[in-house]
Amino acid sequence: MLGSMSDTLPSKPLATPRRVWSIPRAGSLSRLALHTEPLAPPGSGEVQVEVTAVGVNFADVFACLGLYSATPSGKFTPGLECAGRVRSVGADVDRWRPGDRVMVLTRFGGYATALNASAATLWPIPESWSDAEAAAYPVQALTAWYGLTALGNARPGAVVLVQSAAGGVGLNALQALQTLGARAVAVVGSAAKREWLIGQYGGQYGLTPETVIVRSPRLAADLDAALASLGAQGFDVVFDAVYGADFEPSFARLAAEGRHVLFGAADFMSVGRRPNPLRLAWQYLRRPRLDPLAMISQNRGLLAFNLIWLWHEASRLPEAMRGTLALIPNPPHIGGCYAFEDAQAALAAIQSGKTMGKLVLEPHRAAEPAAE
Ligand SMILES: NC(=O)c1ccc[n+]([C@@H]2O[C@H](COP(=O)([O-])OP(=O)(O)OC[C@H]3O[C@@H](n4cnc5c(N)ncnc54)[C@H](OP(=O)(O)O)[C@@H]3O)[C@@H](O)[C@H]2O)c1
Q: Which pLDDT belongs to residue 13?
A: 73
Asked if the model's pLDDT at residue 141 lies above 90, the reply is yes
Residue type, 284: Y
What's the CA-to-centroid distance between 262 and ligand 1, angstroms? 12
Quick check: CB of 193 below 6 Å from ligand 1? yes
Give me the percent of the chain exceeding a pLDDT of 70.
96
CB 82 within 8 A of CB 110: yes
Taking the alpha carbons at both ends of the chain, their separation in whole angstroms is 67
More reliable by pLDDT, 226 or 372: 226
Query: Residue 161 Cα, ligand 1 centroid: separation in angstroms?
Result: 15
Does the beta carbon of 307 lie inside 6 Å of ligand 1? yes
167 within ligand 1 shell (Cβ under 6 A): yes
Supply the residue whose CA is at minimum distance from atom 8 of ligand 1.
Answer: 264
Confidence check: pLDDT of 5 > 50? no
Whether residue 1 has pLDDT greater than 50: no
- Per the CB < 8 A criterion, the answer to whether 260 and 238 are in contact is yes
Which residue's C-alpha comes closest to atom 12 of ligand 1?
Answer: 169
Q: State whether the Cα torsion 163-141-210-355 is positive or negative.
A: positive
Q: Is 57 in the pocket of ligand 1 (CB under 6 A)?
A: yes
Candidates 56, 58, 308: which one to mutate for ligand 1, based on the most atoms within 8 Å of Cβ? 58
Kindly report, residue by residue over 258-302, the tens digit of the pLDDT: 999 999 999 999 888 999 899 999 999 999 999 999 999 999 999
Q: Is the CB of 355 under 6 A from ligand 1?
A: yes
Residue pLDDT, tens place only, 311-327 = 888 889 999 999 999 99
Angstrom distances, CA of residue 112 to CA of 4, 32, 38, 278: 39, 13, 12, 34
Cα of 188 vs centre of ligand 1, distance in Å, is: 11
| DSSP secondary structure, 46-73, as one string | EEEEEEEEEEE-HHHHHHHHT--TTPPS
Nearest CA to ligand 1 atom 21: 167
Please name each of the domains of the chain with its CATH number.
16-137+331-362 (3.90.180.10), 140-309 (3.40.50.720)
| Helix (H) / strand (E) containing 141 | helix 138-145
Is the pTM higher than 0.85? The answer reads yes
Give me the residues paired with residue 361 across strands: 54, 338
Q: What per-residue confidence (pLDDT) applies to 10?
A: 53
